[in-house]
Chain A
């Protein structure tokens, strides 16, 4: 099956710093990528939808100036958590959809555990 690579898998940072998370589709071109966050024992919550070459669409309640998303190519999307605070600590997951299989399934990255001290 298709592979989505996400890294880093784990990052610890100080409050006030910025953290960048990368999401790559390794063997297919992803016209659309999605970013989720997941708190312990909670559902995955969609944060934003990222389309190659255009601005991301953010879900209600997600600060676009805090969570910067860039989808510069068909295989790479990045999420930058700016001026991170302890409440931003969470598990962040990306996923990618292909044009042919968009109705069938998404392919998820392995996730990034962010801990803000």
Chain B
């Protein structure tokens, strides 16, 4: 069964304290791995798509990496405005575009 597990469930950081979020997945055939940011009471906001092991993408303080079993979202020198829930999702070869398999997310809190 295709599955996405994110850890930790919650993460508290001080401003400037770099860290990483983990997304472990098992999927029959990976078409893509997606990272989203979700603010309370809002829909997910797209961050990155990764397609193959070894791929990396960066956006401001965020960097996403992908291996055959997991993905990491590295946050460098976070700021309070980075506080949000970060969702990971995978799309398999058998699934339609909308049938992403989501993890439960990691709730990040960055304190000033």
Closest to A101 in B: B97
Which residues of chain A in 46-62 are interfacial with respect to chain B, using CB atoms and an 8 Å cutoff? 46, 49
Q: Does A9 contact B (CB under 8 A)?
A: yes
- Identify A6's interface contact among B43, B89, B97, B105, CB under 8 A: B43
A113–B98 contact, CB under 8 A?
A: no
Would you give the 0/1 interface string for A95-116, flagging 1 where the beta carbon is closer than 8 Å to chain B? 1010000111111111101000
Are A108 and B97 interface neighbours, CB within 8 A?
A: no
Which residue on B lies nearest to A96, using beta carbons? B98
Q: A105-B46, A109-B43 are in contact. Are A44 and B87 (CB under 8 A)?
A: yes
Are B98 and A43 touching (Cβ within 8 A)? no
Please tell me if the beta carbons of A32 and B34 are within 8 angstroms of each other in the complex: no
B98 contacts A111, C-beta separation under 8 Å = no
A113 touches B97 (CB 8 A): no
Q: Is B72 an interface residue (CB 8 A)?
A: no
Complex-state Cα separation, A43 to B89, whole angstroms:
9
For B55-81 the 0/1 string (1 means CB < 8 A from A) is 000000000000000000000000000
Summarize A's interface: helix, strand, loop or mixed.
strand
Bitwise, A13-24 to B at CB < 8 A (1) or not (0) is 000000000000
**B98 interface neighbour in A34, A103, A109, Cβ under 8 Å:** A34
Q: How far is the CB of B38 from chain A (nearest CB, A)?
A: 9
Q: Which of B9, B87, B97, B103 has the most C-beta atoms of chain A within 10 angstroms of its own C-beta? A: B97
Given A4-B43, A97-B97, 5 other A-B residues pairs in contact with their CB atoms under 8 A: A6-B43, A49-B96, A93-B44, A106-B46, A106-B97
Chain B interface residues (CB < 8 Å from chain A): 4, 9, 31-32, 34, 36, 41-46, 49, 87, 89, 96-105
Chain A residues near B (Cβ < 8 Å)? 1, 4, 6, 9, 32, 34, 41-46, 49, 91, 93-95, 97, 102-111, 113
